[in-house]
Amino acid sequence: MKAGSNLEGILEKGEFAVTGELGPPKGNDVEVIKKKAEFLRGNVDAINVTDNQTSIVRMSSIATSAILIQMGLEPVMQMVTRDRNRIAIQSDVFGATALGIKNMLCLSGDHQTFGNQTGAANVFDIDSIQLLQCVKTMRDEGMLLGNEEEIEGKVHLFIGAAANPFADPFEFRVIRLAKKVQGGADFIQTQCIYDMERFKEWMRMVRNRGLHKKVHILAGVTPLKSGGMARYMAKNVAGITIPDSIIDRMVKAEKGASEGIKICVEQIEQLREIEGVHGIHLMAIEWEHKVPEILKEAGLLPRPQLS
């Protein structure tokens, strides 16, 4: 065990893992965190805490993760390189692990022009693959980036990365995944999946390279709330492909929310049958109260307990 986290234990045991997601508040209202977290308690193996997603200023992922630990829950702390140079990154890793955070997801981060501070300077001192290498060096070698100075103490982290099977050029997606695995990723969480055939083809290429035996892959799913949401995401969200058949189902449904949950459950059932998929990452964006219903319908409750 590299960090001894619940998520690591579930995956190493061969169980089908489930992670959820929690977006911190646009301020310091702790009750926002607690309300969302209680919907996820007992229903997921770990909770992703986003790091100023879409470049919107929010409570820090480290602080939010620490609050979840105080609540007896396990976070997956996200960290983006958009806002930090390598000094700040390594300093934050020290702080996060000192606070008891055991899972970390390494990301580049959305460009600042998507957010509410468009005049901010992007940092991007290192990219997401170099961030993986940095954290792996800190953990496995006990050294700072560059191997120039020994760390005081031990860094124990289960290290994750993101993958988008749907961006172009499609053939490059699995090559980039291989680089992240080589860089130090222990687990992967993918972009939300609607185009199942394309995802299956991506997984075929993953298996051809034997990557499914080197890293735990958690497939991303996001329930659609309405036909309008399906149309908007298909048109405006980069890296997401939604087949016309799904859009049509959502548009024609009498109750869009119910149909969206039904589609999500169907997707989870298909994902469980794909060789090399070790779990799901359920991103119920501002819909955390629907997580128990979705997972119950998908047969993923109760969650396994480690002895």
pLDDT above 70 covers what percent of the chain?
100
Q: What is the extent of the structural domain holding 41?
A: 6-297
218-264 confidence digits (pLDDT tens): 999 999 999 999 999 999 887 789 999 999 999 999 999 999 999 99
pLDDT above 90 covers what percent of the chain?
92
pLDDT for residue 148 is more than 80: no
* Per-residue pLDDT at 158: 98
Q: Mean pLDDT across the stretch 95-116?
A: 95
CATH number, position 134: 3.20.20.220
Q: Is residue 1 part of a domain?
A: no
Side-chain-side CA neighbours of 118 within 13 Å: the count stands at 2
Write down the residue that tokens 């998520």 correspond to: 7
60-95 confidence digits (pLDDT tens): 999 999 999 999 999 999 999 999 999 999 999 999
Q: Mean pLDDT across the stretch 46-73?
A: 97
Q: Rounded mean pLDDT of the chain?
A: 96
What is the total count of domains within the chain?
1
Partner residues linked to 163 by β-bridges: 190
Q: Is residue 302 part of a domain?
A: no
pLDDT for residue 193 is more than 90: yes
Q: Is residue 135 part of a domain?
A: yes
* Per-residue pLDDT at 113: 86
Band (pLDDT 50/70/90 cuts) for residue 147 is confident
Band (pLDDT 50/70/90 cuts) for residue 26 is very high
- In contact, 10 and 304? CB cutoff 8 Å: yes
Q: Mean pLDDT across the stretch 126-148?
A: 94
Q: Is residue 16 part of a domain?
A: yes
* Per-residue pLDDT at 129: 97
State how far the Cα of 307 lies from the Cα of 21, in Å rounded to an integer: 25
* Per-residue pLDDT at 237: 83
Q: Is residue 179 part of a domain?
A: yes
Q: Is residue 34 part of a domain?
A: yes
- Pair of tokens at residue 155: 């860094």
The answer to whether the peptide bond before residue 24 is cis (omega within 30 degrees of 0) is no
